[in-house]
Structure 1
C-alpha cells in the first residue's frame, strides 16, 4: 500500500524538526493524564462549557459545503434555557492554516474568544475553511477525489469568505458584521476585500490577529524549506490532502507523546511559531487532538511560493517557456498561468484597492510566522485602508488563540474596537460596557463633599504650593446655593458618564449588554458566586449596606459550605462610585472574584449616600440633614463601623483593607485618628491614593489632624 502524501510530508517535516529542535531531557516521565476535553468535537466542547450551539451548512458558488457553528446565546441564556436577546450584533471568526474553528473554543470560558464574545452580548459565528476537519464536503466530489483538493487560500478568499459572511447576514438580518481572523484568516480577508469592496463594506470592523500577507521573512525552518523549492515538491506529490486529522496525530501524538512529555511538544511547536510561555502546556493534548485540521497540498504550495518569492499574489501555476531575443514563446498547453490569468506571471493582490473595512492589527513580537518586517510590508501596501489600532504583545503565532492570557492582553481591546462599530437593524451604533457603568455610576453623595472634592481637583494651585488657610466666610461666599449646587453636579455627573459615548459620533444608539439590566448582586450571581447582604448601623445612625462573598466560585457552584477561618479582605470604593466597581468585569478581571477564588472572605463596603447606603434611622434622602456629611465622617464613622462589623461576623482578629480613590482618603482619615482601628488592619492596599499635598485645617476642607500615619505617604499641614 502506498504511503499517503500527507504522511510522507509529515515524515519529511519531522526530519527537519529533529535537526533544528533541541531535545529537552526529562528527569522523570509521569503517567499520562487524559484531559476531559481531549478528543471533543467543536460542538461537544462548546456544550461542555455550558453554551447553546448550532451547526449550519453553507454551500459556496463552486459547490463546496462548509460548516459553521453559531453561539447565539450567552452562558446565562444557555443555562436558563431562555431565548437569545434580540438584535445581537454578529461577529464572524475564522481560523488560520491547518487550524479550524476549534481554536476559538479550545480554552476555558474566560480564555476562549468565542465565549468571551458570546458573554459580551454578541451573536458569534465560527467559520471553517474548505478542506478542514469540519468542512470536507462537496456537492459533486468526496475527499477521495483529486478534484476536491484543487484549491488554495485563493479560493477561500474568492468563494468561502463571501459565502459565509453573506450567510451570516442573511440569517441575522443585519447589514454588517464584525470580522476577526487569525493568520490565514487574515490572508484570505486582505485578498477577498481587495477584489470585492461591496463585501468589505459589510464588515464594520476587521480584527487581524497575527496578520499575514507577505511571508518572505518567516521562521528559518519554513524559510529553509521554501527556498529549496518546497512548492515544487508539493506539486510533484500531486493534488491531494495535506495533514488531515488522523489517528496518527490524535492517537499517538496527542494521547501519548504530549500527555507524557508536554514540554517536548511545546518545544516543537515553539520551534515553528516562535518562543512562548503563554500556553498552558498541560492542555497541548487537547489542542493537538483537533489540530492540525488539514488543508490541500496546493494550499501549502501557495504558501511556499509566497515564502520563497516574498510576494502576495495569486497561485503560480508555472510556465514552461522559451525566452530569447526578447520574445517569450509559450503556448497555453505548457503555460497554465497564461491560460488562467492571461499573463506569464500571476497577478498581485492589490492591497491599495482596500478602503473598507476599518482594521485593527494585533501582532506578536515573538511571532515567527507573521514577522514585523512582513507586517510592515503589508501595511505599506494598504495605502487607502483605515487601521485604527496597532497592538503588539510578547506572543508567538498560536498565542492569539491558545494563550491562556489572550483575553487580558488582546481580546478586551479587540472587543472595545468592535463595540464602536456595530450594526443592529442597519444602523452603525456604539456598543460597550458604558451603558452598564451609566446604570451604576456616578453614585450620589453629598453636594458638600462633591463640591469641595471637585474644587480641589480643578484648583491645581491648591496641590502645587501651600496657601493661606481659607476662612469659613471665604467658603460661604464661594459656594453657590444648595439647589444650584445639586443641579450643577448632577449635570456634571451626567456629562462625565456620557462623554465616552458622545465623543464617538452623533446619533448613536446604545445596544444592551446582558449585564446592563442587572443589579450588582445579580451581576455577582450571574458570575456564579454566592453573595450575602448585611446592614450596618453606625454611631451617627446611618445604615450602611455591605455585600459579602464568603465562597469561591467552586464552593458556590458545588453548594458546599465555605472553608473555615478564611482571611478577610474589606474593599472600599471611590468618590461617586459603589461596591459595583469591584465586580463589574468578568471573573478573572474583577478584584472581588479574584480574591474570593484565592480563598478570601470578601467584604464590599458602600459609603453613606451612595445607591446602596441611603438609609438613616431618623432621616430620609429628602431631608437636608441626611446629606450633611463629608469624607471626614466616612473616615471617622463609616470606616470603623464596617471594619469592626466584618471582623465581628467573621470572628477574625484582623483583616486586609483595599481602598480606591476616596476609599484611601477616608482610610488615611480614619487610621490617623484611630490607631486602635489601624492595628486590626494587617495590610492596606491603596489604589490611586488620594489625600492632596496640602491638607487644609478647616473642617470642611481638611479633616486630617497633624499626623503622619503611613510609610510612603507624606502629609503637609
Structure 2
C-alpha cells in the first residue's frame, strides 16, 4: 500500500503538472450565455446572432495535403454561424503530446500562407510542430481559401457576401474555429497566437462573447490593431480621415472588397495601386503598402491568389483611427441608437477579457504606436507587454523579420514550454514582463494554491519522517515501514 509520503509526492506532481499545462479533459459543448456584467449593446449583439446556426453546413470535410517542406498536414472545411465556409490547416505532428493545441491567426487581408511561407529556421508554425504541439492555422472569410457561403455567391452577390468587418470575423469565424478544434481534441482550452488584425479578432471575441475566455489558456498578440490615438503614417491618416464618405463612394462604384474580382480578368496580374478598383484611391493602396500587408512578394500573383477581404474591414479600422478609440462599427447616429442605444458606437469592453495575455510590440512599428499598445493592455485584467529590443523593427517584421525567431518567437516558445504562475495586477498597473503582487489570496489560481498545499504537505511529512528516524527504541515513532510504534 502506498505510504502517506508517497501519496503526497503523487499529489504534488499532479498539481504541479496542472499548473504548467492546460486542462487535458474531454470537451463538452456549451451554450453561449450572456454574462451579468455585459453591456446592453453586447447583449443586443448576442441576441441578434443568426437564428439558424450554419456551423455544420460544410459537413466538416477533411483532406490530406503536403506542405512545401514535405511534411504532412490536413485541410479542414468548417462553417461559421452566419454561413461562411472557412478553411483551416492542421499540421500533423507525429509526436505524442499532452500540450494544448495552438491556433495561429494571420493579419489584415492575409491567409495561413503567411506562416507557412516563412523560412524554416524562422518559422513559428514549424517550430511549434517540431516541439509536439497540435498546430492549427486560421483563415478568415474572404481570403483566397474562404470564398464561399451557403447562401451568397462571392462574385454575383458581392455586396451581401462582403458585408462584414473584423467584428464578424472575431465573433463568428474565430468562435467556429475554436469550437471545432476543441471538438476534435481532448482539451478544454487552446493557446492563441495572432498578428496585427489577428490580435484584434481575439480582443473582439473575448470582450463581446465572454464565455470564450474559458476556452483559451494563453494568448500572444503581436502588434494588435486596437487603439489609434496616434498613427505614424500621416498620409494614410489623411486619406482615411472621412471613412463614412469613403465607404459611400466605394459602394457607389460597386466596390466591396480589396482587389475586386470584377475589376480584373481572373488570371490577370495584380496592380497594387488599384487594390480598391480604381485610380481614385491609389494613394490609400500605396500608403497601406498593400502587397506587403498581404504577403505578396512577387509581381505575378493573379486575382485568385491574392484575395484579401471586405472593404468594411478597412473602413472600420479608419473609424477607429479617426475617433481615436477602439469601438464597434459606426452606423451613424440614427442607426447607432437603434443598434447600441446611443448615438456613438460603444468601445469594446476590454476589461471583460480574462485570458492570460502577452502583447508584444515595437516602438518603431509603423502601424500601431507603442503608447496605444500599453493603453490597450492596461484595460485588460491579465495582460502584460513585451517590447521587441531590435531597433527599427516594423509591423510586417513580426512575420517577415530576418531574425524574427530570435526577436519574438523564441520568447513565445519559452513562455509556452515554461510558463510562469499567473499573478494579477493591482489597480490596473502594468509593467513589461512582470506584474504586480496579487491583491488577495482569491486572485491566485486554484492550481497554484493546490500546488502550494502539496509542497507544504511534502515538507511537513519529510520533517516528521526525519524526526521519527532519529527516535531511539523507546520513542513513539517506527523507524521502518510497517513496524508498529512503541507504546
Tell whether the 8 Å contact from 2:78 to 2:176 is kept in structure 1 after alignment: yes
Which residue number corresponds to residue 157 of structure 1?
Answer: 170
Which residue number corresponds to residue 250 of structure 2?
Answer: 237
Which residue number corresponds to residue 402 of structure 2?
Answer: 404
- How far off is 1:140 after superposition? 0.9
CA distance 1:182–1:309, change in 2 (3 Å)? same
Is 1:140 paired with 2:151?
yes
- How far off is 1:72 after superposition? 2.1
The partner residue of 2:321 within 307, 311, 314 is 307
Tell whether the 8 Å contact from 1:49 to 1:108 is kept in structure 2 after alignment: no
Tell whether the 8 Å contact from 1:66 to 1:130 is kept in structure 2 after alignment: yes
What pairs up with 1:83-94 in 2 under 5 angstroms?
A: 84-94=95-105
Tell whether the 8 Å contact from 2:390 to 2:407 is kept in structure 1 after alignment: yes
Q: Which runs of 5+ in 1 are unaligned?
A: 1-42, 78-83, 256-267, 320-334, 423-427, 430-502, 508-717
Tell whether the 8 Å contact from 1:94 to 1:180 is kept in structure 2 after alignment: yes
Partner SS, residue 359 of structure 2:
strand
Partner SS, residue 359 of structure 1:
strand
What pairs up with 1:595-610 in 2 under 5 angstroms?
A: none
Give distance in 2, aligned partners of 1:190 and 1:381: 11
Q: Which digits, 9 at most, give the CA deviation of each residue in 1:513-549, with x for residues without a partner?
A: xxxxxxxxxxxxxxxxxxxxxxxxxxxxxxxxxxxxx
- How far off is 1:250 after superposition? 8.3
Which residue number corresponds to residue 204 of structure 2?
Answer: 191
Tell whether the 8 Å contact from 1:46 to 1:105 is kept in structure 2 after alignment: no
Is 1:110 paired with 2:121?
yes
**TM-score scaled to structure 1, two decimals?**
0.44
The partner residue of 1:215 within 200, 221, 228 is 228
CA distance 1:363–1:337, change in 2 (3 Å)? same
Which residue number corresponds to residue 382 of structure 2?
Answer: 385
Q: Which runs of 5+ in 2 are unaligned?
A: 1-62, 273-283, 423-447, 453-487
Say which is worse superposed, 178-187 or 245-254, in terms of deviation.
245-254
Tell whether the 8 Å contact from 1:118 to 1:124 is kept in structure 2 after alignment: yes
- How far off is 1:175 after superposition? 0.8
CA distance 1:407–1:222, change in 2 (3 Å)? same
Give distance in 1, aligned partners of 2:190 and 2:222: 17
Partner SS, residue 221 of structure 2:
strand
Which residue number corresponds to residue 351 of structure 1?
Answer: 350
Partner SS, residue 451 of structure 2:
coil
CA distance 1:300–1:386, change in 2 (3 Å)? closer
Which residue number corresponds to residue 312 of structure 2?
Answer: 298
**TM-score scaled to structure 2, two decimals?**
0.63
Which residue number corresponds to residue 521 of structure 1?
Answer: none
Tell whether the 8 Å contact from 1:149 to 1:241 is kept in structure 2 after alignment: yes
Partner SS, residue 135 of structure 2:
strand
CA distance 1:392–1:244, change in 2 (3 Å)? farther
Tell whether the 8 Å contact from 1:133 to 1:244 is kept in structure 2 after alignment: no
Give distance in 2, aligned partners of 1:504 and 1:134: 45
> Whose radius of gyration is greater, 1 or 2?
1
Which residue number corresponds to residue 361 of structure 2?
Answer: 363
Partner SS, residue 186 of structure 1:
helix
Give distance in 1, aligned partners of 2:184 and 2:404: 30
Give distance in 2, aligned partners of 1:297 and 1:269: 12
Partner SS, residue 121 of structure 2:
coil
Q: Higher relative contact order by CA 8 Å / sep ≥ 6: 1 or 2?
A: 2
CA distance 1:406–1:249, change in 2 (3 Å)? farther
Give distance in 1, aligned partners of 2:267 and 2:451: 53
Is 1:59 paired with 2:57?
no
Give distance in 2, aligned partners of 1:165 and 1:300: 25
- How far off is 1:419 after superposition? 2.3
Q: Which digits, 9 at most, give the CA deviation of each residue in 1:316-354, with x for residues without a partner?
A: 0113xxxxxxxxxxxxxxx22222223222111111222
Which residue number corresponds to residue 168 of structure 1?
Answer: 181
Tell whether the 8 Å contact from 2:64 to 2:73 is kept in structure 1 after alignment: no
What pairs up with 1:260-339 in 2 under 5 angstroms?
A: 272=288, 284-285=297-298, 293-319=307-333, 335-339=334-338
- How far off is 1:418 after superposition? 2.0
Partner SS, residue 78 of structure 2:
strand
Tell whether the 8 Å contact from 1:95 to 1:128 is kept in structure 2 after alignment: yes
The partner residue of 2:416 within 418, 426, 442 is 418
CA distance 1:286–1:213, change in 2 (3 Å)? same
Q: Which digits, 9 at most, give the CA deviation of each residue in 1:648-669, with x for residues without a partner?
A: xxxxxxxxxxxxxxxxxxxxxx
- How far off is 1:197 after superposition? 2.9
Say which is worse superposed, 195-204 or 146-155, in terms of deviation.
195-204
CA distance 1:251–1:106, change in 2 (3 Å)? farther
Which residue number corresponds to residue 441 of structure 2?
Answer: none
RMSD, aligned α-carbons: 3.7
Tell whether the 8 Å contact from 1:93 to 1:125 is kept in structure 2 after alignment: yes
Give distance in 1, aligned partners of 2:271 and 2:449: 48
